[in-house]
Structure 1
Amino acid sequence: MAPLTHCSDHLEIHARNREVVRIFFVLDVCDREVIAWSAVAQAGWLPDNYCSAYLANDTADTARAVGLTLLFTPVRSPESNGMSEAFVKTVKRDYASITVLSDAATILALLPDWVEDSCEVHAHSE
């Protein structure tokens, strides 16, 4: 079996106008940098009974639609435990929470800079 070299996850950022941007990302386990990411916007909040997007069939369909290949590793992997969660925490804490996010277009416009900055500033410090 080949060693694990990537891990992935998703996060959602909510704009003030109730639009939601869902971000899918893949991290390199060795250098902890984002090697691929994609974002989609949708209007309105998700229902309260909506399960984790990462477990939903819609997520797999969306990932395929944006060109990601689905590969599954064990839920708990010693090589990557916590890396995806740390990236989500960094984006929410250091970027989204300190920025006025009026709509999905604003979030989508800011994401490239956030991802680049997180790779340069935070990749090895978490």
Structure 2
Amino acid sequence: MVLDGFGFSCDNGEKLRVTFALDCCDREALYWAASNGGYDSETVQDVMLGAVERRFGNSLPTSPVERLTDYGSAYRSYQTRQFARMVGLEPEHTAVRSPESNGMAESFVKTMKRDYISIMPKPDGLTAVKNLAEAFEHYNEWHPHSALGIVRHGNICGGEPVIG
């Protein structure tokens, strides 16, 4: 599982910060959250929990799942690391000053900004978040890695997948 985030501005100058989790097997965007106040460890924990629930249902993973993030303080805080382990995730971080080593997340951010955010109406934060929900849904239907030959979450990683 990969966790990361990105920001963008609305037409009225309001800034939004999006935190997301991707499934490393099929690149599905498992869960996301947006806020206009940046992000903190609580937001990251909410996204982790939502992603685990979407991927594994009401059960925790039977063995630890690697969780790759950058070195942002919200991702590496003691509380976030403890919470990650509690829900079956093993914290891993990209190299310091090397966010590009998280290529899956970087590719996702580029796709979201190029194919969705650049063209969606975003006069204000509320409208932008509503349109982001549609963007994430469309991404999951049509954008997961084409080399996998799938467009919806399948059982290619083991375990019991959950289609939300």
> So what's the TM-score if we normalise by structure 2?
0.55
Structure 1, unpaired ranges of 5+: 1-5, 43-52
Looking at structure 2, the residues matched to 125 and 13 of structure 1 have their Cα atoms a distance apart, in angstroms, of 27
The 4+ residue runs of structure 1 with deviation greater than 6 A are none
From 15, 37, 40, the equivalent of 2:35 is: 40
SS class of match (1:95)? helix
SS class of match (1:31)? coil
Aligned partner of 2:125 in structure 1 is 104
From 41, 46, 58, the equivalent of 1:60 is: 41
SS class of match (2:118)? helix
> So what's the TM-score if we normalise by structure 1?
0.70
Sort the Cα spacing of 1:62 and 1:105 in 2 relative to 1 into closer, same or farther, 3 A.
Answer: same
> Is residue 2–residue 24 contact of structure 2 (8 Å, CA) maintained in 1?
yes
* Structure whose residues are more often helix by fraction: 2
Aligned residues: 103
Aligned partner of 1:120 in structure 2 is 141
Structure 2, unpaired ranges of 5+: 50-79, 85-90, 96-100, 148-164
Corresponding position: 1:12 with 2:7: yes
Corresponding position: 1:74 with 2:93: yes
Residue 125 of structure 1 and its aligned partner are, at CA, apart by 3.6
Looking at structure 1, the residues matched to 47 and 138 of structure 2 have their Cα atoms a distance apart, in angstroms, of 24
- The structure number with the bigger radius of gyration is 2
Q: Which deviations, in whole Å up to 9, do the C-alpha atoms of 1:50-70 show, x marking residues without a partner? A: xxx6xxxx5224434x46463
Q: Considering Cα pairs closer than 8 Å and 6+ residues apart, tell me whether 1 or 2 has the greater RCO.
A: 1
